[in-house]
Chain A
């Protein structure tokens, strides 16, 4: 690489600084147009990012929007369903579902917002594949899905205290022993994940905030 630096136009894409993709309005996308006609106000926005169409819909229309995508646009495969937590928003959770159409060979992302204690219509009647991902979303975020046939915890055990992928769930874990075995542990005296094998913890995080990182600064 002893040559003089090349002008930017001659550089290969991998030699340039990475250019982050931008959000673009996609109201004229045929799928977004048709869905907008069917849903009206309930379709909040239609945008693309890095080539993926993202549709935001109101919570009440979540199932009907996905059903319309399945029936009319052949999005027959539910790829994935998950939650995201934005604690500062008015409705803190987002439920994100990815659908795929074999005939159009494209993916679409449908999102809806839901607040603490709110319910999202379950997609299981439309896509049986949504069963386990919705259980996982309930398990990890505490988002309820209305009409789900079996909304129980899936990765954690029944009786676990809390929803670990929420942003306010401490990484070092919480005392779950007392919640399950009240006859053995007093409150905040049970085993805590991530603190070794000790049965009792001297300074349980919730009981001793003065040992927290904020105080040390």
Chain B
């Protein structure tokens, strides 16, 4: 048998080939499969296939009372549990009309911003290692470890925090926590400079990211892209500024926006966001009000019949929202997650057309996906 061309077609006449990227490819950050149509090394089309990590979280939400659903949210975007908690409890509070005391609002902002830094550190570490830069991985995980220590001192957990409740915070800040957090925040901007020394003007890094995966602002909006990806496409929009929640209306920070719409600019946005998060935490620690950390609330929350609320927060990856329908019982009748990475990933085929297969690794990194949230 002719080993080269078993089908009898001439081998070199083929132009397009189908290629499976994943599901176990290390650069897919989990279990995701991309069906690629390639012409040589150029990507003609890309079709993401997801769902390998589907756990039926939205069905589980319906089975548990409002309070018991908080741990489920930890497991959506598992590198940003505090942000998921924040979005969920915000939606429940909006649904039943709970008002959160100021001290709890500030604690929430501190936790959410620490979580944003830690999520961006994971992103930077894995994005850099995907592209071939090994060192930033160790630098980023060095700082992330300190943040996880702070989380552990606050709520006992490092990853799945379960750190918020509808109506306020379960625990007050432990003794010495404010000082320890302050020390970390004081040192952190210098660490960001270290990452930038490694990457920002690095010739290889720029060759791999500048002009790769261009996503014009109109396309980004059409595909529902939010967060750092949208700001890297030149749209000045951040939910923390547009529709301030918790204590974000009372702190000063800048929203970084870059206009080249490529992978490099999305990198710059996230780097700057880490500095701004440190700035927000500093202000919150300085102004941390005294007082209660939990609102007056019934022991078992009940939503009124035929009510519904959508509440979204600016997560590390973009708009993370919860849509909850109440039916007069103690459980949500329906709780839908607006998954950030799910919507952002929709733009991947658009970004990858015409790119090289090796660029695809950079593109998956730049979307900053977490499959736990995409597949739910």
By a beta-carbon cutoff of 8 Å, the part of chain A in contact with chain B is 12-21, 23, 49-50, 52, 54, 76-80, 82, 84-85, 96, 98, 102, 105, 107, 109, 127-129, 131-133, 140, 153-157, 164-165, 169, 171
* Assembled-state Cα–Cα distance A164/B51 (Å): 14
Per a CB cutoff under 8 Å, which of A17, A50, A102 touches B296? A17
Residues of B within 8 A of A (CB): 50-51, 54, 56, 58-59, 63, 94-101, 167-168, 221-224, 226, 235, 237, 242-243, 292, 295-298, 303-304, 306-310, 312, 319, 321, 323, 325, 333-334, 336, 338, 342-343, 346, 375-376
| Shortest beta-carbon distance from B360 to chain A in Å | 19
Contact of A105 among B95, B224, B243, B304 (CB under 8 A): B243
- Using A14-B100, A107-B310 as known contacts, say yes or no to A82 and B323 having CB atoms under 8 A apart: yes
Partner of B98, one of A18, A23, A105: A18
State A140–B298 Cα separation when bound (angstroms): 33
Return B63 CB to nearest CB of chain A, in Å. Answer: 6
Cβ–Cβ contact A49 & B221, under 8 A: no
A85 and chain B: residue at smallest CB distance: B334
The interface residues of chain B lying within 8 Å CB-to-CB of A133 are 343
- In the assembled complex, the Cα of A131 lies from the Cα of B95 at a distance in Å of 28
Q: Kindly list chain B residues whose C-beta atoms are within 8 Å of the C-beta of A102.
A: 221, 235, 237
What chain A residues lie within 8 Å of B312 (beta carbons)? 79
Output the residue of A17, A52, A82, A105 with the most chain B CB within 10 A. Answer: A82
- Asked whether, in the complex, the Cβ of B97 is within 8 Å of the Cβ of A20, the reply is yes
Q: Judge whether B51 and A157 touch: CB under 8 Å.
A: yes
Q: Judge whether A165 and B59 touch: CB under 8 Å.
A: yes
**Is B59 touching A127 in the complex (CB atoms < 8 A)?**
no
Q: Contacts A20-B95, A49-B309, A171-B63 given; 10 further ones with Cβ under 8 A?
A: A14-B167, A50-B309, A76-B222, A79-B319, A98-B323, A107-B310, A127-B222, A128-B222, A133-B343, A154-B50
Chain A residues lying within 8 Å of B304, measured Cβ to Cβ, are 20
**A202 smallest CB distance to B (angstroms):** 24
Are the C-beta atoms of A80 and B99 separated by less than 8 Å? no
For B309, list chain A residues within 8 Å (CB): 49-50, 52
A129 to B50 Cα, complex, angstroms: 16
* CB pair A155 B59 closer than 8 Å: no
Q: Tell me, in angstroms, the Cα distance from A129 to B319 when the chains sit together.
A: 14
Which of chain B's residues have a CB closer than 8 A to the CB of A21?
94, 97, 307
Among A18, A85, A169, residue most surrounded by chain B Cβ atoms (within 10 Å): A18
A210–B242 alpha-carbon span in the complex (Å): 56
Closest chain B CB from A155 CB (angstroms): 4
**Cβ contacts under 8 Å, B94 to chain A:** 21, 50
Let me know if A13 and B99 touch, CB within 8 A: yes
Q: Whole-angstrom distance between the alpha carbons of A14 and B101 in the complex?
A: 6
Q: Is the CB of A18 within 8 A of B297?
A: yes
